[in-house]
Amino acid sequence: MVVGVVSVVVPVFRGVDDVRRCVGSLMAHAGPVEGVGSVEVVVVDDCSPEPEVSALCDEVAAGSWPWPVRLLRNSENLGFVATVNRAIDATSGDVVILNSDTQVTAGWLQRMVDAASAPGVATVTPLTNFGSLCTIPPVVSDAFGLFGDDPQTDACAAFVARHSLRRRPEVISGVGFCMYITRDALDLVGSFDTETFGMGYGEEVDFCLRATRVGFTHVVEDATFVYHAGGGSFGNERNERMKRGSSLLHDRYRFFRAANTAERSADPLRIPFKALELGLHERDESRPHVLHVLHSAPDALGGTEKHLRELMESMADTHDFSILCPVESGYVLRTLWHHPDRPDPTEIEFLLPGGPRRVTKIIDEVAASALRCALDMFHFDAVHLQNLIGHSLAPLDVLSDFDGPVVCSVRDLYLACPHHWLLWRNEQACGIPDDLSVCADCLPVTRQLSIEYLEEFRTTVAAHLDTIDAWVFASQSAEDYLRRVYDLPPERVHHIPHGAIINPHQPTRTLDVHHIYNEPLRLAFIGLGWTKKGLDVANHLAEHFAGTPIEIHHYGTLKQPASPHLHTHGPYDNTLLPHLLHTTGIHIALLPGPYAETFGHVMTEATIAGLPTIAATYGALGERIRTQACGWTIDPHDPTTTATLIEHLDHCREELHRATHNATHHPITTISHTRDRYAALYQPTAAPKEHEG
């Protein structure tokens, strides 16, 4: 549809500088507008008391501009509303009522015309920095200094145009600072109500509500920004006039206050404005972006979360990260981006589809859609599966057609068995038996799952092994366990021991011979106090050694009852653990859990404290004890033999001395040592993957 003439009406009363800037911006951005026959500017001098304003009006009218300027001059001051009406009466096409303290920006009129050309539109209002519902978020105004001495108006307009969602939301009423009104609406509804709203404030709402009554709509052109100095139109009388206007509207439209409140609450611009806010935190696309799939909130206290936080921190100078994790209401995607122009990392959270539920399906559709949604939202160069619990196996399926590398860290053996503790009936280590009848006795009890579920679960993993480009194991034993179930391609297997998640350079890491030989033997059971971690063994030992010089201590939260002979110290801070152990005079870390660890951060912390370790002969702890010769391995199901070992160590301090020496001298790998290996895994794969179908 082609509109004949569009008249930009600028009522002028005071503020010569504002008027100059307004007209200047109009002419700076004047040009052909598609769909419009011609554009004119109508300046109406409302008998300004400031001679310089009238002089400027004359100057503008006499000038040669891309858009012709027509000057109307009131012989007496009529006020804003009557002045606008006079201009409307003097024009024949659509009009834009533009306050004289505004500044328009590039492409503004074209987009306003486009928005107004939709059927049934009465008014179009752009976004601004001062304009009721159309006011952009303060963080955006601040970013462009819109309330400072040098507002970056054009830059802000370009930003808004770039980040707009172009939704053109419908609102109850336009806002008067810059309102495009179609001639159709004017013809049907008439112009502003001078008699009632002649003092200003409320006239545009009244007009819009009258237009709505006859079927017109009002939209916000959310890709257009027009600067509005604001508040100057009526000086100090502004508040009084606003109150009066509001009261008049309430008298005339009893529904309006409630509707207005509801609109403010629902906020039709909430999502467009959020898009603008997010636009301020754009990622530096030159940095690789890695998505971590995690089983819990990244702030949680588990070893995986701590390790991941440290890993991301150590790679912050080169990589951006996002984390997808399940929460009680769905899935949260949290960003951790660094930008050279911003001092702090950008941490934003997005709530992806989901709901309060327990993921029990092997491939959970909701988990799959959450991951797909995350992949749709941002470009990721690589995906790192840290832990799939809470996601089901859906990520393996979704990522089968992901173009970048998919890295899977085997932090527990969930992929081998949904009961990833690998404790048969929560009693003893199962070691992933070949005989599934053993599992048939366990899974229904421990996870309420059938053996058929396990078989289908493993079949699904096996079918998706190709999805994973790199399998990362922190220990050989973890790889050996997984290989009991799956035939992993050797070329895709990588061994990267977890680095220490606390500072490895601790003053406590010294060989104190006097302490080793002359103090009562003290052992520290460290970690969550429950069966999985070996509380039963610790309790047994505490009872066994009650009344002897051998002491069993516990550091951590107790989940199950502890023996009264166990010296309990309560929860601890990892970073302070070496100091705590040193202060208590601990000689040995006791990690007697039947659970087969895949690495064991606590053992690293004990080694940093300069302590040898007693732990299960199987799993990563046993492997590390044998490799580093800094401890002794036990059968967690045989506490009597463990007690004998401890008695032996109590009597043979030479042996304790040897192991302590090895622990204090064993080099500690830090996470920063491993960062280059992870960075290499995040590199694009050499050949693009062949996708099925």
Partner 1 sequence: MKTDDEERLRRELRATTAVNRQLLAQSGGGNGNGKGSGRASTTAGGAGVPAAPRIRREGVARTWLTALAELDVSERPFLVRPPKGPVTLVEGGTARPVTSSLLVATLERTFGEPRPVSDAELAKWSDGVPVEVLEGPRGAPFIIVAGTRHKLRGLPVPYPVSTSDAEMFPSGPVLNVARSNVSRLRYRRAMKGSEQRRWLADQFRAKSPRQLLSALIRRLGR
Q: Which residues bind partner 1 (CB under 8 A)?
A: 137-139, 163, 165-167, 264-265, 270-275, 277-279, 281, 297, 299, 325, 327-329, 332-335, 346-352, 356, 358, 373, 376-378, 426, 445-447, 530-532, 557, 559-561
What span, in angstroms and rounded, lies between the C-alpha atoms of 192 and 324?
Answer: 53
For partner 1, give the closer residue by CB, 28 or 316.
316
For partner 1, give the closer residue by CB, 196 or 296.
296
**Three-state DSSP class for residue 238:** helix
Element containing residue 479 per DSSP (H, E): helix 476-483
In angstroms, what is the minimal distance from the CB of 141 to partner 1? 12
Among 408, 486, 457, 446, CA closest to 681: 408
In angstroms, what is the minimal distance from the CB of 683 to partner 1? 22
Element containing residue 335 per DSSP (H, E): strand 330-339
For partner 1, give the closer residue by CB, 350 or 453.
350
For partner 1, give the closer residue by CB, 100 or 141.
141
In angstroms, what is the minimal distance from the CB of 456 to partner 1? 22
**Which residues, including other chains, have CB under 8 Å from residue 413's CB and lie 6 or more apart?**
420, 422, 432, 478, 481, 482, 596, 598
Q: What is the DSSP string of 90-152?
A: T--SEEEEE-TTEE--TTHHHHHHHHHTSTTEEEEEEEBSSSGGGBPPHHHHHHTTTTSSS--
278 φ, ψ (degrees, to nearest 5): -65, -30
For partner 1, give the closer residue by CB, 267 or 638.
267
For partner 1, give the closer residue by CB, 165 or 546.
165
In angstroms, what is the minimal distance from the CB of 57 to partner 1? 39
Q: What is the DSSP string of 627-691?
A: HHT-EEEE-TT-HHHHHHHHHHHHH-HHHHHHHHHHHHHSPPPBHHHHHHHHHHHTSPPSSPPPP
Structural contact between residues 170 and 68, judged by C-beta atoms closer than 8 angstroms: no
**Three-state DSSP class for residue 38:** strand
For partner 1, give the closer residue by CB, 264 or 677.
264
- Looking at residue 533, the DSSP 8-state letter turns out to be G
Structural contact between residues 3 and 37, judged by C-beta atoms closer than 8 angstroms: yes
For partner 1, give the closer residue by CB, 157 or 324.
324
In angstroms, what is the minimal distance from the CB of 518 to partner 1? 38
In angstroms, what is the minimal distance from the CB of 159 to partner 1? 13
For partner 1, give the closer residue by CB, 38 or 557.
557
What span, in angstroms and rounded, lies between the C-alpha atoms of 495 and 468?
Answer: 15
In angstroms, what is the minimal distance from the CB of 261 to partner 1? 9
Structural contact between residues 259 and 142, judged by C-beta atoms closer than 8 angstroms: no
Structural contact between residues 565 and 552, judged by C-beta atoms closer than 8 angstroms: yes
For partner 1, give the closer residue by CB, 560 or 627.
560
User: What are the C-alpha distances in Å from 512 to residues 331, 506, 518, 622?
Assistant: 50, 14, 10, 25
**Which residues, including other chains, have CB under 8 Å from residue 561's CB and lie 6 or more apart?**
none
For partner 1, give the closer residue by CB, 557 or 670.
557
Q: In what order do the strands lie in the sheet with 69-73?
A: 69-73, 36-45, 3-12, 94-98, 178-181, 121-127, 217-225, 170-171
In angstroms, what is the minimal distance from the CB of 640 to partner 1? 23
For partner 1, give the closer residue by CB, 331 or 457.
331
Q: Which residues pair with 330 in a beta bridge?
A: 327
In angstroms, what is the minimal distance from the CB of 290 to partner 1? 18
Indicate the pairing of strand 330-339 with strand 342-346.
Answer: antiparallel
- Looking at residue 391, the DSSP 8-state letter turns out to be T
Task: Give the angle subtended at the CA of 610 by the CAs of 606 and 614, to the nearest 5°.
Answer: 50
In angstroms, what is the minimal distance from the CB of 229 to partner 1? 21
For partner 1, give the closer residue by CB, 32 or 571.
571
Structural contact between residues 124 and 116, judged by C-beta atoms closer than 8 angstroms: yes
In angstroms, what is the minimal distance from the CB of 285 to partner 1? 11
In angstroms, what is the minimal distance from the CB of 53 to partner 1? 36
In angstroms, what is the minimal distance from the CB of 388 to partner 1? 19
Q: Which residue reads 């509801």 in tokens?
A: 262
